[in-house]
Amino acid sequence: MFEKKSDVRRRMMPLAVSLCALTCTAPAFGQAASDEGLAPAKRSDSKRSGVSQAKPVSPNATINLVHMLVKQGVLKEEQAEALIKQANDEAYVAREAAKGATAKADEAAKAANAATAAASPPGTRHVTYVPEVVKRQLREEIKREVMDRAHKENWASPGAYPEWAQRIRFSGDLRARYQGSFFPTGNDQLDAINFNAINTGSPYDLSSNNFAPTYNTTKDRHQTRLRARLGAEADIFNGFSAGLRIATGENNSPVSTNQTLGASGGNFSKYALWLDRGYLKYQAWNNDVAVSVGRFDNPFWSPSDLVWHRDLGFDGVAVQAKYQIAEGVTPFVVAGAFPIYNTDFNIGTNFDAATGGVTKFASRDKWLFGGQAGVATPFAPESAFRFAVAYYDFTNVQGQLSSPCSVLSASDLCNTDPTRPSFAQKGNTYKQLRDIIREASNNFGTTNQFQYFGLVSQYRPVVASAQLDLGHFHPVHILLDGEYVWNSAFDRKLMNADTTINNRAGTPDGSIGPYNGGNQGWLGRVTVGHKQIKHLWDWNVHAGYKYLESDATIDAFVDSDFGLGGTNLKGYFVGGNVGLSENVWASLRWLSANNIAGVPYAVDVLQVDLNAKF
């Protein structure tokens, strides 16, 4: 049965109205856009059931308004650009949604017609009506699909980073410093031996009339220094992340990334960059367990720099874990293994008198093994207490006397040369390493006595750390920090052996006295003010006292500023910080240190810093 043409036209009219209402009007989300820039049509006073004459709102009117506000000084240029970009982005999304709506409606109509035709007698013509509720559902579905795709593919906001780039976070900091080092009268310049200069260079000939390298202990110095660091951390997948950081530095010192301006050749020469961090980390169980491999920040908690310099990087592998056993009580543990020195694969090519050939020396690899256990207990909304005990075992760092060896020049080797420290500051106690054969070639021990020096003691320090954070006046806090170190492997009889060179008491007749160093150290500090300096006029001040005996720990890894670095120092320090802008602050510190044992030595250090973080 066929319908009349007039009836067909009459039944198709609601469909045309419905489809045009779906595809011709502005979408129900965002701001509708038109490339023609037409203004909306005026509404008729009489009620009409036909197609709406409203046109999509043009973004050009908005853009013109924005430009007008810029001319009147209401908006800044960069604010206007941001608004214009947002309008264009939303218009683009709206156009894509409208296209999707038209396609969906056509598909729905075709499907309905096909279904109706299959169920009707041959020759029947049908026009499908799309209810308003279906149109709303279609709009919402299309909106979700378009927006999901827009965010995933970043075409909703042209210029945005792709998804993989959004998982990378960059950070950096810069510090400009004036440092003044002031030495009082009475310091001993002759006996301030720089063992690090000897051990990292050519051996020192004890039989020569040349003076051994010494530290400066008498001439004041004024330096301008720079530290710049740039790092990136990337979230990978399934709990894995990776980090990388480069930094300035005059050399490969583990405790300083300072670059003295005018050094390294001077004349505005360019400065070197070093790999300061490079690691892979895995975190699991809501980040309660973390495993780090590579070169990373100190994994052990420490409130001060008594044992570890604050910026020291650790090479190796570390595991950190914590677990809240009760409300406000969270124990934590840390363990790790870290290579300090790896023997060169080709070390020790030298003549062997016993075999008449050449030989390779045994490996003298040095390691640090460490473990720490502690607990963190917040006891008020802004107050907390933390306490931890750590044990560290430095393996193969003690200097070993060599087998009898023949040394004719500075280039000759002995089998225990690798046991000397590859880096040191000052303070630890040293002894001679080489057992040089007395023979005619060296005038039976009176010439060619080229010598290296190694540590007398073993080092297995036990460290107790505590911090009390009182936040009653938050954001102003009162922090009390304390730390104590005791070298459990210390042997005073060994330190008093005849081979011990430094850290000996003086005697009235000028002869070498007994060893007067020690194996303990402690630090106490109080800080008042903001815990972190982030905003304008944030501030804090601190004062403290440090006492660190010569062989309480390895001097290579402690603070490099107090006493100009190392152990065997005691004295006080004061300082403060004030915020100058967002993430920009100034710092002032005064550090006054004196030797505990050995030759007279004292130095006062003034540091004035301008810091920025981004």
What is the residue range of 557's domain? Answer: 166-613
Please say whether the beta carbons of 501 and 453 come within 8 A.
yes
Asked if the structure places residue 322 within a domain, the reply is: yes
Residue 58 pLDDT greater than 60, yes or no = no
Instruction: Give the CATH number of the domain where residue 350 resides.
Output: 2.40.160
Q: Which of 141, 160, 179 is the last residue of a domain?
A: 160
> Percent of the chain scored above 70 by pLDDT?
80
- Picking from 370, 405, 376, 411, the residue whose alpha carbon sits closest to that of residue 391 is 370
Number of domain units in the chain: 2
SS3 letters across 496-561: CCCCECCCEEECCCCCEEEECCCCEEEEEEEEEECCCCCCCCCEEEEEEEEEECCCCCCHHHCCCC
Kindly state whether residues 123 and 194 are assigned to the same domain: no
pLDDT at 612: 98
Q: Which of 112, 143, 160 is the last residue of a domain?
A: 160
Question: What's the chain's Rg over C-alpha atoms?
Answer: 38
Residue 54 pLDDT greater than 50, yes or no = no
What integer is the mean pLDDT of 205-231? 94
Residues 487-490: contacts with CB within 8 Å, 24+ apart?
487/457, 487/459, 487/460, 487/461, 487/519, 487/520, 487/551, 487/552, 487/553, 488/391, 488/460, 488/461, 488/462, 489/457, 489/458, 489/459, 489/460, 490/457, 490/458, 490/519, 490/551
Asked if the structure places residue 48 within a domain, the reply is: no
pLDDT at 209: 82
pTM of the model: 0.75
User: What is the rounded distance in angstroms from the CA atom of residue 136 to the CA atom of residue 551?
Assistant: 79
Asked if the structure places residue 325 within a domain, the reply is: yes
Kindly state whether residues 148 and 295 are assigned to the same domain: no
Kindly state whether residues 388 and 522 are assigned to the same domain: yes
Kindly state whether residues 478 and 589 are assigned to the same domain: yes
Residues 286-290: contacts with CB within 8 Å, 24+ apart?
288/321, 288/322, 288/323, 289/319, 289/320, 289/321, 290/319, 290/320, 290/321
Phi, psi dihedrals of residue 139, rounded to the nearest 5°: -60, -45
| pLDDT tens for each residue of 403-443 | 999 898 898 889 899 999 999 999 999 999 999 999 988 89
pLDDT at 355: 58
Kindly state whether residues 448 and 313 are assigned to the same domain: yes
- Picking from 599, 302, 305, 265, the residue whose alpha carbon sits closest to that of residue 426 is 599
pLDDT at 338: 98
pLDDT at 48: 40
Kindly state whether residues 92 and 205 are assigned to the same domain: no
| pLDDT tens for each residue of 238-294 | 999 999 999 999 998 999 999 999 987 789 999 999 999 999 999 999 999 999 999
Kindly state whether residues 289 and 140 are assigned to the same domain: no
More confident residue, 57 or 249: 249
User: What is the rounded distance in angstroms from the CA atom of residue 215 to the CA atom of residue 230?
Assistant: 32
Asked if the structure places residue 601 within a domain, the reply is: yes
Kindly state whether residues 144 and 177 are assigned to the same domain: no
pLDDT at 38: 35
Residue 172 pLDDT greater than 70, yes or no = yes
Residue 253 DSSP symbol? -
More confident residue, 237 or 29: 237
Residue 30 pLDDT greater than 80, yes or no = no
Asked if the structure places residue 45 within a domain, the reply is: no
Q: Which of 99, 133, 160 is the last residue of a domain?
A: 160
pLDDT at 345: 77
Residue 12 pLDDT greater than 50, yes or no = no
User: What is the rounded distance in angstroms from the CA atom of residue 602 to the CA atom of residue 304?
Assistant: 22
| pLDDT tens for each residue of 539-591 | 999 999 999 999 999 999 999 999 999 999 999 999 999 999 999 999 999 99
Asked if the structure places residue 46 within a domain, the reply is: no
pLDDT at 146: 78
Asked if the structure places residue 494 within a domain, the reply is: yes
Q: For residue 27, what pLDDT band results from cuts at 50, 70 and 90?
A: very low
Q: For residue 211, what pLDDT band results from cuts at 50, 70 and 90?
A: confident
pLDDT at 249: 93
pLDDT at 343: 84
User: What is the rounded distance in angstroms from the CA atom of residue 441 to the CA atom of residue 602?
Assistant: 43
Write down the mean pLDDT value for the chain. Answer: 84
